[in-house]
Every structure is written in structure tokens, then in C-alpha cells.
Chain A
Amino acid sequence: NAGVMQNPRHLVRRRGQEARLRCSPMKGHSHVYWYRQLPEEGLKFMVYLQKENIIDESGMPKERFSAEFPKEGPSILRIQQVVRGDSAAYFCASSPAEGIRYEQYFGPGTRLTVT
């Protein structure tokens, strides 16, 4: 059973470009979460999605950031018009369902560098 897959592992973008980060959850998992780890900071929750639904986006910046988890295919975190402050490691996690019993399993992360 493959773990959570993220690609690309490393992404370099110039200021003003768009970044697309992809996440494939573990087989059988229908819940996806995105977290961001800024340099020298702890991980911060960004958004929680189920198939075709955004459940909680309270941690997402109000502008330039969006996330989706379509019926088919991976979850996508999209950052438009990137700025240097977006440079960070972006982690995706998945769980089989919502509830107190379920662990979140993390992917290896995508390290975004904005030049």
C-alpha cells in the first residue's frame, strides 16, 4: 500500500509565476489536508478537503491560494503570482475518514523556492 504521494518534490518558480502542487492520498483515504512549513517555523494547517468539497479552509491565505480535490485525480494546491514569502515546504496528509480515531499520514512534501 503506497503512502501519500506528492509531486513535484522540489519546485522553483520566479516571482509572479504560478505553482501547482499535487497530492495523491493513500489508497482508501478520502480526506486530504494541506500544511505549510515556513523556514524555522512549525507546520501550519492550511485546508481540509474531501472529494469535491472544501471542509475547512481557515488556514488558507485569502488571496492567491486555492485548493481542490476533484472526484478523479489528485488534490491540487495552487498558488498564483508567487512571492518570495511563499517559499516553504508544503505537506499533504490523508486519513480514511473524519473522527477522533484516525491518524493523519503525511507525504514527503514539496519544497517550493521562489526566486
Chain B
Amino acid sequence: KQEVTQIPAALSVPEGENLVLNCSFTDSAIYNLQWFRQDPGKGLTSLLLIQSSQREQTSGRLNASLDKSSGRSTLYIAASQPGDSATYLCAPDYGNNRLAFGKGNQVVVIP
């Protein structure tokens, strides 16, 4: 069974602190992995896509790493801002474009 676990489930940090969000998945045979953010009552916004052959991907203050063999991905957000408050979702693609989702990391950045 392909399961995705995100730890911690929830965290609060003061503004300016770096965020580290962890994702683990049980089946390492993935094609790629996407990170999304979801605001309350809203849809998902794609943040980063990492191909299975890549080790990391960067976009602005965001950096995502991928260790496919150990089934882990980490999202780093540098110098957090209140606008970063959201739920962050990790979604590996196991083929045929089926994304599997965890329950997310719920982040609150305190001004």
C-alpha cells in the first residue's frame, strides 16, 4: 500500500525562522514528487516538482530535496513570513499520473 506521512502534522514558528517540513512515502518507485500549499477552504497551489532522477529543486525561498531510495522528501522554507501560513502537501506520483497525498504539514508563522 502506498502511504504518505508528513511530520510534523502542525507547527508554529516565529516570523523569520526557517521551516523544515518532512515527507516520507512507503514505496520508493515514484516518477516524481510535487509539493503544494493549500490555504483554508481553497484549492492547491503547486510549489515545486522534483523528478525522480533529481536530488533537489529550488524556487525563491523554497528548496525541496528528494531521497528516493529512502522514501523521503524535505521542503525547506527560508526566512518564513506570515503569508507562508498554510497547509503544505507532499504528493509522490506512482505512475499513470496518480498523485498520492499525505495529510499535510499545517504551518502557522507568528508575526
Tell me the A residues contacting B by CB distance below 8 Å. Answer: 4, 31, 33, 35, 41-45, 48, 55-56, 58-59, 91, 93, 95, 98, 100-109, 111
B54 to chain A, nearest CB (A): 10
Q: Which of B51, B93, B101 makes the CB contact (< 8 A) with A44?
A: B101
Tell me the B residues contacting A by CB distance below 8 Å. Answer: 4, 31-32, 34, 36, 41-46, 49, 51-52, 89, 91, 93, 96-104
- The reply to whether A91 and B44 form a contact with Cβ atoms under 8 Å apart is yes
List, in ascending order, chain A residues with CB within 8 A of B96's CB.
48, 55-56, 98
B29 to chain A, nearest CB (A): 13
Q: Which of A31, A55, A91, A104 makes the CB contact (< 8 A) with B46?
A: A104
| Alpha-carbon gap, A104 to B104, bound state (A) | 17
Q: Which of B46, B97, B104 makes the CB contact (< 8 A) with A48?
A: B97
Given contacts A103-B34, A104-B34, A106-B36, whether A98 and B43 have CB atoms under 8 Å apart is no
B64 to chain A, nearest CB (A): 13
B55 to chain A, nearest CB (A): 15
- The reply to whether A104 and B97 form a contact with Cβ atoms under 8 Å apart is yes
- Other A-B pairs beyond A42-B101, A56-B97, 6, CB < 8 Å: A42-B103, A43-B44, A98-B96, A100-B51, A104-B97, A107-B43
Q: Which of A41, A58, A103, A108 makes the CB contact (< 8 A) with B43?
A: A108
- The reply to whether A33 and B97 form a contact with Cβ atoms under 8 Å apart is yes
- The reply to whether B51 and A42 form a contact with Cβ atoms under 8 Å apart is no
List, in ascending order, chain B residues with CB within 8 A of A95's CB.
97
List, in ascending order, chain B residues with CB within 8 A of A103's CB.
34, 46, 49
Closest to A105 in B: B46
Closest to B94 in A: A45
List, in ascending order, chain B residues with CB within 8 A of A105's CB.
46
- The reply to whether A58 and B98 form a contact with Cβ atoms under 8 Å apart is yes
